[in-house]
Amino acid sequence: MLFGSARASKSAEVVAGEVYQRMANGLLMETVEVLALYRDSAGIPHVRYLVHHERTGSPDAQRTLALLAFREMFTPRPAS
């Protein structure tokens, strides 16, 4: 399943199974894998994802964000 909207601030669609990343606090790379996309009871789209922090040794954690917030925070990981 994928979600996208012409009103979203970024044009890329978020897709379950894809990997995204962001630099947190300018020091820590967060890499996330999208587990699922769904709408809550009010119809607001959300992204459920697994987050991994590079170089911390902390366990991966599952989190949820509204789709628009996710799009503002994360970008698709470049192909390696």
In a domain, 8, yes or no: no
Quick: pLDDT tens for 60-74.
899 999 999 999 999
Is residue 29 situated within a structural domain?
yes
- The band of 78, judged by pLDDT with boundaries at 50, 70 and 90, is confident
The answer to pTM > 0.95 is no
**Residue 18 included in any domain:** yes
pLDDT at 58: 81
Name the amino acid, one letter, at 22. R
Number of domains the chain is built from: 1
> Whole-angstrom Cα distance, residue 15 to residue 9?
16
Which helix (H) or strand (E) element contains residue 2?
Answer: strand 2-3
Domain assignment of residue 39, yes or no:
yes
The answer to whether residue 2 is domain-embedded is: no
* 8 Å CB contact between 66 and 74: no
Domain enclosing residue 30, as ranges: 13-76
The tens digit of pLDDT for each residue in 1-13 reads 444 444 444 457 9
State pLDDT tens for residues 15-60. Answer: 999 999 998 888 888 999 999 999 999 999 999 999 998 777 788 8
